[in-house]
Chains A and B, each alone.
Chain A
Amino acid sequence: MSDRTLPRILQTPAVVLLLIWMLVPLSMTLYFSFIRYVLNSSIRPEWMTPSLSNWRGLGNYQYVLNAKDFWFAIQNSVFIVSSILILTVVLGLGIAVLINRNFPGRGIVRVLLISPFFVMPAVNAVLWINMILDPVLGLQGIAVGGLNNLIDGLRDFPVLGWFFDLWPKLEPISFRATQTSAYAVIMMVAWQWTPFAVLIFMTSLQSEDESQREAATLDGASPWSQFINLTVPHLARPIAIVVMIQSIFHLSLYAEIEIVSRGNGNKNLPYLIGEFTSNNIGAASATGIFAVILANIIAIFLLRMVGKSLMD
């Protein structure tokens, strides 16, 4: 056997499996996106089986583009993803710089910090929306109730009581409405992914050139200007990578949305596809193709960066 054949044979199973996995379902989605295809229709039963005779051209795409839900889902996806990105990058940078020094118990701090990342998404959502954010029985409700009782008690206080009379009664926030449940999703996902950003920024900080920093210190540069002029440029690449990896993961966010906001109108693209899939397969497929295009735009940038590092 020649030197070239064997490596090829060894790669073949992986390549073939991934090729089937990618091409077969995706080409079906593409096909369904051009035909009329519904799961239940008493008026047009012929639409219930996929067939080229039900060709609809770009009709499904037109239908999706005209659907109010679609634009809302896009806006909501972008809002959720960008809020999570801003939160995780800012918090991640701050925390990474903070713990990138020696102090007692640093190992334990690291372990505590990274833990949220390993919590399964379903548990994350159930935990936050019930035990923590529930307006009556969760910690939020209990905390607000406690504060109200405290203020009520202070109202009876002699001399100063009038001051507390001016305070309003606090209202707990329900995180199960359309807009607020998006905030809840942002909160829980940011909680889960900030540790990931911290971990990556810390790995990168440890490879920062110490001699450069020492020189800057000798030249009298303040810690802040060192951070801005040396550390931030050094972190530019890890930041870009954190942003892109998270974008890809969060654009397909599903479990959290499903658990927190089932039926309350808060949806993103994957959730909308799920809704369409209960009947209108044509529309679901067209939406799916839009989601693929959106993910590809980000993926191209990410692959470029990863490709560069592969060359070193």
Chain B
Amino acid sequence: MATVSQNSKLGNILWPTLAWGIALIFFFPIFWLVFTSFKTDADAVKPEFLFFFTPTLENYTNMTENYDYWRFATNSVITSTFATIFALFVGVPAAYAMAFNPSRHTKDILMWMLSTKMLPAAAVLYPMTFLTKNFLGIFDTHFLVILVLCLINLPIVIWMLFTYFKEIPKEIIEASKMDGVTTWGEIKDILIPLAWGGIASTALLTFIFCWNEAYWTVRLTTIDAATLSKLIEGNRAPEGLFFGRLSAVSTAAIAPIVILGWFCQKQLVQGLTFGAVK
């Protein structure tokens, strides 16, 4: 016997409409950003052109000239890609060891790794500036940004990989040990193919976090290694003069990541709650 409220005609129309309404409200700011990016700067602030205007691509074609977009975008791609690769490179062996050869300290090590993620970045702002500028001389280099992005995401990478690896039956790994396969062979030929989906979604999520990072990428760069976060932050207050072009560059900055994000919603839950919500 079904409940009345769920099967009534009214409910069948009311609930989906409400759900669609809320989804559209939440999406509206993004829609508006993309919409505004097709207006000229002059049209973008005129109420009479609010919805009806002659669309133009000039904001996109002039993006290099106006903002040097591609330089910042290239920096974002380089730093996020390499940070993700390095984090996996360090994270996969660590998670492998913790999942298949746990010791009694494994749990504590995992907890401690997570706790490093919770340190407020601002607390070490000056030491980081001091070390990288005066001591190591790597301030505003790709190397530094890659290193920092890799380190701040490493705990999440290890946690996510750990939860994926734990689901692989131990017997498979042990059987290969019997056959005299080396550890490296185990990781390369057995673990990676088996956990491919998990590793890929970990990589995707890490890439997203790196791309959107907005503290260290802003504070530890000036020009050479500046990413898209820095570009947008630097153009924060156009005073209404450049709404069109600012919308275009912002759209270009978020589009790849929002689309990537659609593909890894599920992993997001696991990645951000460390497997605590199932």
Complex CA distance for A117 and B128, rounded to whole angstroms: 28
Minimum C-beta distance from B67 to chain A (A): 12
Inter-subunit contact B121/A126 (CB<8 Å): no
Once A123-B232, A258-B233 are accepted as A-B contacts, the answer to whether A98 and B18 lie under 8 Å apart by CB is: yes
Inter-subunit contact A137/B240 (CB<8 Å): yes
Complex CA distance for A95 and B119, rounded to whole angstroms: 31
Contact of B199 with A by CB under 8 A: no
Contact of A41 with B by CB under 8 A: no
Residues of A contacting B240 in the complex (Cβ-Cβ under 8 angstroms): 130, 134, 136-137
Q: Which single member of A29, A120, A132, A142 contacts B232 (CB below 8 Å)?
A: A120
Q: Which residue of B lies closest to A271 (CB)?
A: B122
Q: Which single member of A113, A269, A310 contacts B26 (CB below 8 Å)?
A: A113
Once A120-B257, A259-B233 are accepted as A-B contacts, the answer to whether A218 and B1 lie under 8 Å apart by CB is: yes
Inter-subunit contact A303/B47 (CB<8 Å): no
From DSSP, what is the main secondary structure of chain B's interface residues? helix
Interface size in chain B (residues, C-beta < 8 A): 96
* A residues whose Cβ falls under 8 Å from a Cβ of B: 3-4, 6-8, 10-11, 13-15, 17-18, 21-22, 24-26, 28-29, 32, 95, 98-99, 101, 103-106, 108-123, 125-132, 134, 136-137, 139, 142, 145-146, 191, 194-196, 199-200, 203-204, 207, 217-218, 223, 237-238, 241, 245, 248, 251-252, 254-255, 258-259, 262, 269-270, 273-274, 277, 281, 284-285, 288-289, 291-292, 294-296, 298-299, 302-303, 305-310
Inter-subunit contact B250/A288 (CB<8 Å): no
Inter-subunit contact B3/A217 (CB<8 Å): yes
Complex CA distance for A14 and B29, rounded to whole angstroms: 40
Contact of B269 with A by CB under 8 A: yes
Considering the complex of A and B, which 8 residue pairs feature the smallest CB-CB distances, nearest first?
A288-B123, A118-B261, A270-B122, A25-B124, A7-B97, A28-B127, A103-B16, A137-B240
Complex CA distance for A112 and B219, rounded to whole angstroms: 32
